[in-house]
Amino acid sequence: RVPNWDGAEIPSRESKLQVMRGQHLVSIERGVSTALSGATPEVRRYTLQKATVAGRHFMYLRTSDNNSPSFKVFNVLPLGTLIHRARGEFGFQVDAAGVVHVFFQCHVRHFLYCTLNTRGELLRRQMYMTDPFKGAPALGRDVRGRFVVNGGQRVPSGWDFPAPLKRPRGLPAKELGRSDP
């Protein structure tokens, strides 16, 4: 029953919802252009958050406007698992086109690189692995100023988005907390 709609009943399936407080890691605010030419740009706040669910750490990106205290949330997206004691800093940047780049350690030798649009929707997710010759991967810039992953080795994974055409063999999916599709 919906109390403010003259007691109207809306049939729906029962769902369970778990609400938890995430630990704020870092935020970036950037202006994004609007569809109307000449209009002032909207400001987006991209916030990386860590939450613990059933003893496992997960990384989330919350995309919202910057109207405090009643801000509008556009999307909250789970990016992947996060190990408890990640080595080094994670990468978190927004490029000139408004694409958000997030790079973090998801397993002992595995790292995830995600790119998202201004609405917080996932564009790409790729897994990298520490390489004995190239070292650990890290988010950096190429000679043209674009964000790239330096070092490490790119490995196809079940976490990849868009998904690879053929599922690679020998994935660490169970170790990363993801069930096999």
| CA–CA distance, 78 with 51 (Å, rounded to integer) | 10
Mean pLDDT within 54-60: 89
| CA–CA distance, 125 with 113 (Å, rounded to integer) | 6
The predicted pLDDT at position 166 comes to 66
The predicted pLDDT at position 99 comes to 94
Task: Give tens-digit pLDDT for 13-44.
Answer: 888 877 778 889 999 999 887 777 777 788 99
| CA–CA distance, 112 with 137 (Å, rounded to integer) | 10
The predicted pLDDT at position 177 comes to 52
The predicted pLDDT at position 175 comes to 47
What's the chain's average pLDDT? 84
The predicted pLDDT at position 104 comes to 94
| CA–CA distance, 23 with 60 (Å, rounded to integer) | 10
Task: Give tens-digit pLDDT for 68-123.
Answer: 777 899 999 999 998 876 555 689 999 988 899 999 999 889 999 999 999 999 99
Task: Give tens-digit pLDDT for 135-158.
Answer: 999 999 999 999 999 999 999 988
Is a pLDDT exceeding 70 seen at residue 4? no
The predicted pLDDT at position 111 comes to 94
Q: How confident is the model at residue 58 (pLDDT cuts 50, 70, 90)?
A: very high
Instruction: Say what the alpha-carbon torsion angle 5, 6, 9, 14 is, to the nearest 10 degrees.
Output: 50
**Position with higher pLDDT, 12 vs 116:** 116
The predicted pLDDT at position 75 comes to 93
Is a pLDDT exceeding 60 seen at residue 173? no
